[in-house]
Structure 1
Amino acid sequence: MTWHETERGWLAEALRAADPHDPTLCEGWQARHLAAHLVLREQPATAIGALRGGVAGAVERLAASAADPAGYAALVDRFAARPARWSPLAWAGDAVNASEYFIHTEDVRRGTGTRTLRELPDGLVEVLWSQLLRMAPLRLRRLGPGVVLVRDDDVRSAVHAPRAGHGSVVLRGAVGELVLAVSGRLQAADVRVDGGEEDVAAVRDLLSGG
């Protein structure tokens, strides 16, 4: 079983453990909205018909059908089932889904204030780290200060070079926490941020708030 298939199961479990109206780390979204997003993302036929009114409207309409426990359970079951073979995401694999599913699992878990870290398998940690090193330069490209990511095992990578007049900011934490931070969830991640005051403020401003 691939990591994204394992993570699909973990994400489905997290959604099932949540109330449909529980908040998530995705601003303005409850658990039912996140489940709707996941279903629309993976089922092109559903998405094409729903998206005629726009992405936000499509998510809202599908989420509305999951406002009660039965509707929510049915929506989560749709996500938990593997996508049809003709869906692009049926063969996209870890490269597309590993970080996505990890982040959204934590969106559900931490949306109500839970900060307990999960112990991740070593293989998944390395997949997430590899994807983080590809994602971070794009995510951080407009920052003045540089950014260095340091794992909890002291492996490090400079993912963004400082511009003139700026120093570098160091983010330290477990790989999963660094993924959350760089994806815009710094406020919910267990990450230490070190650097000059103004540079740290710039990084926090970019990476906090979802």
Structure 2
Amino acid sequence: MPRYARSEREALTELMSTLGPDAPTINEGWTIRDLAAHLVVRERRPDAAAGLVVAPLRGYAERVRREIAALGWAELLGQVRRPPVWSPVSNPLADELANTLEFFIHHEDVRRAQAGWRPRELPAGLDRALWRRTSTLARLALRRFPAHLLVQAPGHGEVATGRGGEPLRLVGTPGELALFLSGRQRIARVQLDGGPELADRLRGTNLGF
């Protein structure tokens, strides 16, 4: 069985190694070193990882991330490349479920910040895996958006979400939808059909996680 979380991790760490710690990512203000430290916090520091999603703990999580970012580059990259088996998100039972989307998105965070990047043609199995996760993400991220929203990945499926109202349709491949719905609207190659004002509002909505 293909292990897409592992293959995306390997591709990301290889790219990070090639580009070096000071190369940019599409995350505003973050270099590759900053992104690597974020991944280490998520996998190795459960005391701080909650701050990635719980607002009152974000200050502590950021302090820990900065401490980890100060590690030597080889050590930091090694910790991303070789996850701990005890981690709640990277143990063998959880890895594929918890990390396929995570590492795909962060791989693209690095790829798309570099000059001359091009969209990848993904394996069919990875597309399917991304759609399973993205369809759930669409329901969660857009459930309160003031529209009757249809999210479509041609050849994979569609999800209806939103609070209702004016119709709006979001169309793209599973990977591009994953980027859009994770707050990366400006780099996602998707199609939005509907009223221009509503479409612009969705492009500017904070969907990040």
TM-score range, shorter chain: 0.7 to 0.9
Amino acid at match of 1:158: V
CA shift, 1:81, in A, is 1.1
Structure 2, unaligned runs of 5 or more:
50-56
TM-score (norm 1): 0.83
Matched residue of 1:184: which SS? coil
Map 1:1-210 → 2, pairs under 5 A? 1-44=2-45, 54-65=60-71, 71-83=72-84, 85-89=85-89, 90=91, 91-153=93-155, 155-163=156-164, 166-206=165-205
The Cα offsets for residues 88-110 of structure 1, whole Å up to 9 and x where unpaired, read as 22131222111001000001111
Equivalent pairs counted in the alignment come to 199
The RMSD of aligned alpha carbons is 2.5
* Mapped contact 1:181–1:207 kept (Cα < 8 A): no
CA shift, 1:44, in A, is 3.4
Answer with 87-96 or 125-134: which moved more: 87-96
Separation in 2 of the partners of 1:37 and 1:208? 18
Separation in 1 of the partners of 2:94 and 2:125? 18
Matched residue of 1:138: which SS? helix
CA shift, 1:159, in A, is 3.3
Separation in 2 of the partners of 1:105 and 1:78? 16
Identity %: 37
List, as ranges, runs of 4+ consecutive aligned residues in structure 1 with deviation greater than 4 Å: 45-48, 207-210
* Mapped contact 1:145–1:161 kept (Cα < 8 A): yes
CA shift, 1:28, in A, is 2.2
* Mapped contact 1:36–1:59 kept (Cα < 8 A): yes
CA shift, 1:162, in A, is 4.5
CA shift, 1:207, in A, is 5.5
Separation in 2 of the partners of 1:175 and 1:207? 20
TM-score (norm 2): 0.84
